[in-house]
Amino acid sequence: MTTPFSQKSDDIQNGNHTLLYQTHSPFARKALVFALECGLGNRIEVIHQETSPTNRNDRVFRANPLGKVPVLILPDGMALFDSDVICEYLDSLHTSRKLIPVAGTERWQVLRLQALAQGICDAGVAYRWETNRRPENLRYPPLAEGQKTKLIEAFDYLENELDPQAPLNGGQIALATGLDWIAFRELADFRTGRPRLNQWYEDFCARPSMVQTGYSGQTHDQGQPSP
Ligand SMILES: N[C@@H](CCC(=O)N[C@@H](CS)C(=O)NCC(=O)O)C(=O)O
């Protein structure tokens, strides 16, 4: 990743925002794409951090007792998490049209889409544990199937319900970064047989904020990195 959000290995910068990030986290990318879409990219230093519940990262735990990224460190040192809270905060920093509408039906539609995207990522992470990350003898296939069912049901719902004409919003950012992570990890096919969702996804991925933040890297669990 290149400037203005170059990765740094040192600690918090004074007078600026610092994003504890991960190049292969859908939650972290959601926050960064949101910042870029708000025109705030040049106010944020991005620091890559590896995290896993089986591989403690002290730097991340010092900022977030859950040990997860993203975390946004504010200029006064306050640490904000999780990604949804960070997006709300970023939206409060600018005076343009809000990406999370402040009131009305639009607000609930955007927050619902954001929640659905969050659920897709949560189900994707759980599915990946059961199919890839957990040692093979500890995997539980019915749990993998249950998580995959959530993904398929969510994709079908989106094919019918997603409004491709809606103005740019935080729900879309969460969805696009989530779907692109599902594709990156090859967890489930959401494109075949879902032409509306597929077209929307392709269009959204062409935005500069998405192109600049493509996924890379592997998860580092205890033992070896997962492919
Ligand atoms: N609900 C959180 C989820 C964050 C999350 O799960 N981040 C992952 C990276 S994709 C992580 O850091 N996991 C480490 C762990 O579970 O200990 C958010 O939206 O920020």
- Pairing type for strands 71-73 and 79-80 reads antiparallel
Instruction: Give residue 225's pLDDT band: very low, low, confident or very high (50, 70, 90).
Output: low
CA of 103 to the centre of ligand 1 (A): 28
Ligand 1 nearest-atom number relative to CA 81: 20
The whole-number average pLDDT for the span 157-183 is: 98
Distances (CA, A) of 193 to 152, 182, 190, 198, 199: 12, 16, 8, 9, 11
Q: How confident is the model at residue 153 (pLDDT cuts 50, 70, 90)?
A: very high
Protein residue whose Cα sits closest to atom 16 of ligand 1: 53
Residues near 220 by beta carbon (within 8 Å), at least 6 away in sequence: 50, 52, 55
Other Cβ atoms less than 10 A from the Cβ of 171: the count is: 25
Predicted TM-score of the model (pTM): 0.94
Domains of the chain and CATH, by start: 17-98+214-222 (3.40.30.10), 104-211 (1.20.1050.10)
Tokens 């904000």, residue? 80
Question: What residues are in contact with ligand 1 under a 6 Å CB criterion?
Answer: 22, 25, 27, 51-53, 67-70, 81-84
pLDDT band with cut points at 50, 70 and 90 for residue 1: very low
